[in-house]
Amino acid sequence: MRSTTHNFFRYIFQSINITSKNIKIKLKWRFASLPIREKLIIIIGIIVISMLSILSFTFFQSGRKALHDRLAQSCDLSLQHVATAIKNDLLLYYKESADPNERSQYLGHIREKVNGVHSDSIDGLSYAMVVDRDGVIIAHSFKAEINEKVSYQDSILFTNLKDKYVREDPGLIEHIHPLYMRRDEEDKGDDVYLGVAALGFSKKIVMEPIKRATETTISATLIVLIISILLIFFVAHRMTRQIEELGKGVHRISEGDLKREIPILSNDELGQLAREFNTMIKHLHEKLYMQKFVSKYTIKMIRDRYSNGLPLEGESRNVTLLFSDIRNFSNLTERLSPKDIVKLVNIYLDVQSQIIEKNHGVVDKFMGDQVMAIFEGENQADNAVKTAVEIQQAIRLLNAKRAEHGVLTLTVGIGINVGPAVLGNMGSKNRMDYTVIGDVVNLSARLCSIAKPGQIIAPIEVARRLKGNYPTTQLDPVWVKGRSKPVATFEVDYDHAIIM
């Protein structure tokens, strides 16, 4: 039985311990996930509230004690005054040799002194009285209480008192002062007990200053607390506003927005961080803009080489080259302004570059009105031919729409070739470009130059590598500089081509 009970309580304690730990972990995690502004408000708020509470409690206790001490001091002075004034009369009142008239006279003096104390308008004083050693009230500020006898317990209490005594009832605070006197100066025995003098104070009236002091302290504390909270919120807002702006800036960058700078709201470390961040945004914007003027091959090479720490060496690859050139462009330059020329050429170059990238190709460079694209991978030849077909078809549709509006139209000739090429960084120490060189480049450029408007020309080698079916027409061999034999070529009939 003992073992079962022990295990039960052990299980209960373990469960409580685990629950408390889980609560602590949840609270800690929840606090850690709060925004910095809320953390600052909570932390500073706790510190300020704690300090205000400690100070308010200290002041309240000090004030309460001071009021109590002042009240006790006033009561002591009043009681000492009464005791000093009535001791002789009370001692003479007890003399056996005194006749009734003398006793009545002494008693009158005592009552007069008691009434005089009551008439002094001491704050909160309800009554004053003198009780003789037999427990009889011989003087009281209320005549109805005179000659009444106190309770047996009070009589015993009064008789045994050696020093002042304070007691509290639900609505009353009573200060009691025992009265002792020696019979004469030569008497070295015990003092003679004469009775007690007592002052009764209304607790409600006496505690009123303490109550007002308490209310004042609480009100002042609340006002200071509200002001402190507002100041904490203002300070936390000022401190974290720059951090929030930095966070918003990072979010905008993650979405690709590099046009807006972060507002600088301070001159401290956060403000300096915002300035550096704006400089970084500016540099990023410049780099992204510069990437438009650099081929994707170059960007990819830089990422791969520098991220892996590889040297910038040349390498041989099997690639398919596509060259596209605008026909009769020189004649147009004489009729259009430079601005219109650039605008017109960019329309046709943009159409071609989108189709190239859609078919897994890379625009290596734009050379005036000419496009050089590179295709790699298992289906590079098919992707290149498919791209050429789609370019010619797209330009045909574009020209039809432009013709309807009576604006100039352009046509292109395309040359394609496949074979090994050398890829590497070409140029000087200060200006380089990552591109391809080799016979495959020269031949594809030569085929492009002899292609007629709307024509796609490629060597027979390309046809052998195609996996899809494209209607073709064999052309006359082409003589290329540097070759001893002509190159057999064919034309892709894209009007009947089935895009695979």
pLDDT tens-digit profile of 217-239? 788 878 888 888 888 778 777 77
Among the residue ranges 3-12, 78-87, 156-165, 179-188, the one predicted with the least confidence is 3-12
Looking at per-residue pLDDT, the higher value among 372 and 91 belongs to: 372
Q: Specify the residue for token string 């596209």.
A: 324
CB 138 within 8 A of CB 110: yes
179 and 246 in a single domain? The answer is no
Please name which of 310, 284, 271 lies closest in space to residue 424, comparing C-alpha atoms: 310
pLDDT over 90, % of the chain = 15
Give the chain's domain count.
3
245 and 360 in a single domain? The answer is no
Query: Among positive and negative, which fits the CA dihedral 235, 236, 237, 243?
Result: positive
pLDDT per position as a tens digit, 261-270: 778 777 777 7
| Residue 31 resides in a domain | no
Alpha carbon separation from 216 to 55, 68, 213 (Å, rounded) = 14, 17, 5
CATH number of the domain within which 92 lies: 3.30.450.20
Separation CA 146–CA 155 (nearest Å): 16
442 and 382 in a single domain? The answer is yes
Among 94-103, 452-461, 473-482, top mean pLDDT goes to: 452-461
pLDDT tier, 97 (very low <50, low <70, confident <90, very high otherwise) = low
Can you give the pLDDT at residue 500? 39
Can you give the pLDDT at residue 321? 94
Is 0.95 topped by the overall pTM? no
**Averaged pLDDT score across all residues of the chain:** 79
Beta-carbon contacts of residue 477 (< 8 Å; ≥ 6 apart):
486, 487, 488, 489
Can you give the pLDDT at residue 2? 53
| Residue 379 resides in a domain | yes
Can you give the pLDDT at residue 11? 56
Does pLDDT of 310 surpass 50? no
Q: Look up the domain containing 285 and give its range.
A: 211-290
Looking at per-residue pLDDT, the higher value among 62 and 141 belongs to: 141
CATH number of the domain within which 428 lies: 3.30.70.1230
Can you give the pLDDT at residue 307? 56
264 and 159 in a single domain? The answer is no
Looking at per-residue pLDDT, the higher value among 164 and 416 belongs to: 416
**Across 346-367, average pLDDT:** 91
Among the residue ranges 259-273, 305-319, 341-355, 388-402, the one predicted with the least confidence is 305-319
144 and 246 in a single domain? The answer is no
Domain closes at, from 167, 185, 206:
206
Give the E-state strand segments of 134-234 in sequence order. Answer: 137-140, 165-169, 172-181, 192-202
| Residue 34 resides in a domain | no
pLDDT per position as a tens digit, 457-472: 999 989 888 887 778 8
Does pLDDT of 391 surpass 60? yes
Can you give the pLDDT at residue 499? 43
Can you give the pLDDT at residue 107? 82
Separation CA 234–CA 438 (nearest Å): 69
147 and 216 in a single domain? The answer is no
Q: Specify the residue for token string 């300020």.
A: 48
| Residue 303 resides in a domain | no
Domain closes at, from 257, 290, 323:
290
**Across 282-295, average pLDDT:** 66
Among 84-98, 203-217, 442-456, 480-494, top mean pLDDT goes to: 442-456
Separation CA 454–CA 411 (nearest Å): 6
**Across 37-59, average pLDDT:** 76
Beta-carbon contacts of residue 495 (< 8 Å; ≥ 6 apart):
none
Mapped onto helix, strand or coil, the DSSP state of residue 452 is coil
215 and 199 in a single domain? The answer is no
| Residue 448 resides in a domain | yes
Separation CA 268–CA 155 (nearest Å): 78
216 and 202 in a single domain? The answer is no
Domain closes at, from 206, 232, 263:
206
375 and 487 in a single domain? The answer is yes
344 and 281 in a single domain? The answer is no
Separation CA 50–CA 52 (nearest Å): 5
| Residue 455 resides in a domain | yes
223 and 201 in a single domain? The answer is no
Q: Which residues sit opposite 434 in a β-bridge?
A: 425
pLDDT per position as a tens digit, 160-203: 888 888 888 888 888 888 888 766 555 555 678 888 888 888 88
Q: Specify the residue for token string 């509230």.
A: 49
Looking at per-residue pLDDT, the higher value among 282 and 15 belongs to: 282
**Across 239-257, average pLDDT:** 77
**DSSP summary character for residue 412:** E
Can you give the pLDDT at residue 384? 93
Please name which of 194, 185, 188 lies closest in space to residue 91, comparing C-alpha atoms: 194
Can you give the pLDDT at residue 323? 95
**Across 465-490, average pLDDT:** 83
**Across 94-118, average pLDDT:** 76
Separation CA 418–CA 421 (nearest Å): 9
CB 445 within 8 A of CB 474: no
Encoding tokens for residue 212? 């007002």
Phi, psi of 133 (to 5 degrees): -70, -10
322 and 431 in a single domain? The answer is yes
